[in-house]
Amino acid sequence: MPSDQSLVSRTATEIVDLLTLGAITPLECLEALETRIANVDPRVNALPTLAFEQARAHAKALTEKPVKERGRLAGLPVAIKDLNDVAGVRTTYGSPIFKNHVPTKNDIMVDTIEHEGGVIYAKTNTPEFGAGANTFNEVFGRTLNPWNTKLSAAGSSGGSAVALKTGMAWLAHGSDMGGSLRTPAGFCGVVGMRPSPGRVAHNPSNMVDSLLFIEGPMARNVEDLALFLDAMTGESPRDPISLPRTSQRYLAAARSGPKPVRVAYSKDLGITPIDPEIAEICEKAALRFRDAGVHVEEAHPDVSDAHECFGILRAAAFAAMHADNLKNHRDLLKPEIVWNIEKGLELTMADIVKAEIQRAKMLKSANDFFETYDLLLVPTAIVPPYPVEQRYIEECNGHKFNNYIEWLGIVYAITLTTCPALSLPCGFTKAGLPVGLQVVARPRGEAQVLAGAKILETILNLDLKPIDPR
């Protein structure tokens, strides 16, 4: 029986409603996705590992339960980034070192999603160990931007962003340290959210209490993303910084949360060059908040130490997580990772102390800032999508960057404040490429982010349906 391809264009919230009513089954959803992937993925390479046999077994088990016991996702298929373990499914972390690795246990986050009725059917492509904002690796190759397959989808959650935009996923997981979730969302025209640290429990790395690396939801629109965040949240004793679920559901916040009163916009946070066309598109979108009676003015917190601070803390994290890989498999690591690990191993205690003091200063500045403003709006990326063969952005507006991550300052500065941030599609360049705008609120202010983003999404009224690769 042919699959119902009309399902792939429906929103995740619509699919969950249909599943809950019994109008469709999880197996029908899987059939629709399997057909869509066969037709589309060879052109973009977003989902290199499929697990439909395992997914069908899980889906059948779910259908044997009463509807009220199937969780918030009710059997909706979900794609997981290839940095997180899914038991019985090949998980490579984008590295030749682990090209044949099949874990026996789920990541904490995967357990949470499955408990809420999410059915895992695929792993999404990522750069090696999530390093670098361009999704390519030596195991699976490059993931291509569906708006123009000669261009980068960004990274490191590029496979998730592309799967969403091409109708190969209703919901996809991403992760974010220095924009790894937000930048591909911006490049591909989908919605991606970096929640506050601890909001989504996951397996701790060798840096058990790190505030830099988080897991988060990606979707095609704000309500779908809120639905997914509801299913991802919750504390776990295995993750010592994880937070309990809030009493309010995030989907309800997106649909009827409070309207912001005072919003700030910054084109560059005072720390980075930006392509003039990107700045113009983002400012125009930010000012549309005035259509809802919201006061908008130009301002931003002090994040002037972001480049130095993030460079130090990221290097320390890479050294902690990958020093053994450098020692035992140096020849299999890409040069950017080698550089990052070696930089971390060379750090002194004085370096670490300086970075922690800088981070504390930026956190205080952000908290003080949000005493005045409800939201901060900032471009997601400083450039439009670039040629996929280019490993990273080396220059913008005549400014040459010092390393492969510095062009991401506009996203990693927000990381350092621990503020939740959502990338929202806000317009298109003259070349027809999507542009993202970050919507940021005070730490643990996910509900405020979602409510504000939904209002702006409605005002902008962009077509957020999936597309065929171009």
The yes-or-no answer on residue 157 being catalytic is no
Of 18, 15, 47, 22, residue with least CA distance to 34: 47
What CA–CA distance (Å, rounded) separates 384 from 373?
28
Phi and psi based region of residue 322 (left: phi greater than 0; alpha: psi -120 to 50; beta: remaining): alpha
> Prior bond to 156 cis, omega within 30?
yes
Beta bridge partners of 425: 436
Beta carbons of 8 and 167 less than 8 angstroms apart: yes
| DSSP type of residue 68 | G
Beta bridge partners of 142: 136
Of 124, 84, 330, residue with least CA distance to 215: 84
Beta carbons of 312 and 352 less than 8 angstroms apart: yes
DSSP 441-470: -STT-HHHHHHHHHHHHHHH----S-----
What CA–CA distance (Å, rounded) separates 284 from 187?
18
Please pick, among 95, 152, 156, 175, the residue that the annotation labels catalytic: 156
CA distances from 252 to 156, 219, 241, 358, 442 (A): 29, 16, 25, 36, 19
The yes-or-no answer on residue 400 being catalytic is no
33-40 contacts, C-beta under 8 A, 24 or more apart: 33/8, 33/77, 33/121, 33/122, 33/168, 33/169, 34/3, 35/2, 35/3, 35/5, 36/5, 36/8, 36/166, 36/167, 36/168, 37/122, 37/168, 40/166, 40/167, 40/168, 40/468, 40/469
For strand 295-298 and strand 214-219, is the pairing parallel, antiparallel, or unpaired?
Answer: unpaired
The yes-or-no answer on residue 3 being catalytic is no
Please pick, among 152, 157, 160, 180, the residue that the annotation labels catalytic: 180
CA distances from 146 to 107, 150, 192, 426, 436 (A): 29, 9, 17, 17, 15
Q: In sequence order, which residues have a C-beta less than 8 Å from that of residue 245 and are 6 or more positions away? A: 233, 234, 235
What CA–CA distance (Å, rounded) separates 437 from 382?
10
Neighbours of 298 (CB within 10 A): 10
Please pick, among 81, 165, 267, 343, the residue that the annotation labels catalytic: 81
> 349-369 and 409-417 helices cross at what angle (nearest 10)?
80
Beta bridge partners of 396: 399
What CA–CA distance (Å, rounded) separates 217 from 224?
9
Active site residues: 81, 156, 180
